[in-house]
Amino acid sequence: MALWGGRFSQEADQRFKHFNDSLRFDYRLAEQDIIGSIAWSKALVTVNVISYDEQKKIEKALNELLLLVKQDPNQILQSDAEDIHSWVEQKLIEKIGDLGKKLHTGRSRNDQSTTDLKLWCKDQIPHLINAINHLRQLLITTAEQHQKAIMPGYTHLQRAQPITFAHWCLAYFEMLSRDVSRLEDTLQRLDVSPLGSGALAGTAYPMDREQLAHWLGFAQATNNSLDSVSDRDHILELLNNASIGMVHLSRFAEDLIIFNSGEANFVELSDRVTSGSSLMPQKKNPDALELIRGKVGRVAGALTGALMTFKGLPLAYNKDLQEDKEHLFDALDTWQECLDMATLVLEDIKINYTNCQEAAKQGYSNATELADYLVAKGIPFREAHHIVGEAVVDAIAKQKALEELSLEELQKFSPVIDNDVYPILSLESCLAKRCAKGGVSPLQVKSAIEVAKQQLS
Ligand code: ARG
């Protein structure tokens, strides 16, 4: 039976009921709804709506229910209750009869549903942070292992300057660190309890809402009842966090897809995270990475969808707000799954040092070094840039690397060039020179690994 039958003389059309009901997705809030209900029953004692003994009975029955839903949340889906709030109330009444009917005094599903979802978000954030930290830890270990893996760094997907695989790993470590800090930030702002805001104007029972908030583990109670029941900023923030996090994972995936291509052959992915082709027997496809790259679409879509749903809603509660949950559940599930997959892929990756190094040598990625060399010999940078450009054209025509040009050949472009140019053109020298904070020099990378470790511990 619905919670609101009294005013109605006709049954709801089945098609409308299906359209309107939210149990099929908000059943995931069962634990939070029960915990919120227990706290509410305690508040009802403080305003003399129920006695202490009655509260104990309610609490006992709700705790039994909690155990049941923890064992098998899917059983909830058997019911035709409208939403999780109706389901919990129904079950309570089945257990303890008329006393159960007192629980909803002074409360509305409007403050109840937003409280439940906030509690759910508070549970979820540590799981996400955990998954991100797993990947951060793995990035550090991988960086530590591959400090000597020299590979090309790119801009415009053109070989630009040599880097190491370790330095590449640490770039993603930084992105993921910001993802964690965004989640911590969001958690702080959403840690405010809306319970006791009633339907929109506040509860008619003079309870201590701060105490109620503390019982539920919130830092404090909200300030304004109208805002409380219609605020979904935290949903938008989480969807934004998820979208940015997924953008990071999709870039990680795309880099590795390129590194894994036949053209680059820098890395090999494990059989455990690749799949074959039904037609072409030779294929081993990076499906895990492609799915991570692809799924950013649905997460960013959820953010856009939620923004559009919430825009222009008049105060306070409107049923549109029920649309908050599916977006959020899907986006956070997807983010979590992609974090786990990215970790799985990186765990088993093999780096092909020879191919990485060969590619780093090609593409004139030491051209900047030659320009800096000329600058050190007193030539203004702009002029040096031009001279090296000409040398590169000559080297391309001869199908040689810069360091393969003889001294005679090099001196045609500038007489200041001497034999001491050759060590400077080596990959090792290119790396070692980037020795300011954040640069790719082996010493800087080593200390960046130490800093990263400290951040995680
Ligand atoms: N299932 C609803 C939701 O998620 C609960 C609130 C219903 N409130 C109402 N006044 N119809 O938003």
Q: Token pair of 112, please?
A: 């109840």
Q: 98 — phi, psi (to 5°)?
A: -55, -30
Name the amino acid, one letter, at 201.
Answer: A
HEC assignment per residue over 50-70: CCHHHHHHHHHHHHHHHHHHH
Complex ipTM, two decimals?
0.96
- Is residue 361 classed exposed, middle or buried when 0-12, 13-18 and 19+ CB atoms within 10 A define those classes? buried
Each residue's pLDDT tens digit, 408-454? 999 999 999 999 999 999 999 999 999 999 999 999 999 999 999 99
Q: What is the largest CA-CA distance in the chain?
A: 101
HSE-CB of 62 using CA atoms within 13 angstroms: 25
Residue identifier of the C-alpha nearest atom 2 of ligand 1? 322
108 is catalytic: no
Residue 414's nearest CA partner among 440, 390, 432 is 390
Residues 6+ apart with CB under 8 A from 181: none
Q: Considering Cα of 53, then 55, then 58, then 62, what sign does the dihedral take?
A: negative
177 is catalytic: no
For residue 16, the CA-to-ligand 1 centroid distance in Å is 15
Handedness of CA 255, 258, 264, 265 (dihedral sign): positive
> Residue 203: its pLDDT value, please?
98
The confidence score (pLDDT) of residue 236 equals: 98
pLDDT tier at 123, thresholds 50, 70, 90:
very high
Whole-angstrom distance, CA of residue 237 vs CA of residue 185: 10
Q: Average of pLDDT values for 318-332?
A: 98
Pocket of ligand 1 from Cβ distances under 6 Å: 22, 26, 83, 109-110, 113, 317, 319, 321-322
Distance in Å, CA 248 to ligand 1 centroid: 35
pLDDT at 362 over 80: yes
Sole residue written with tokens 């994972």: 249
Q: Which of 156, 278, 406, 457 is catalytic?
A: 156
Report all structural domains of the chain as residue ranges with CATH numbers, in order of start. 14-105 (1.10.275.10), 110-147+158-349 (1.20.200.10), 359-443 (1.10.40.30)
Question: Per-residue pLDDT for 47 more than 70?
Answer: yes
Q: What is the pLDDT of residues 61-102, one digit of tens each?
A: 999 999 999 999 999 999 999 999 999 999 999 999 999 999
With cut-offs at 50, 70 and 90, classify the pLDDT of residue 1. Answer: low
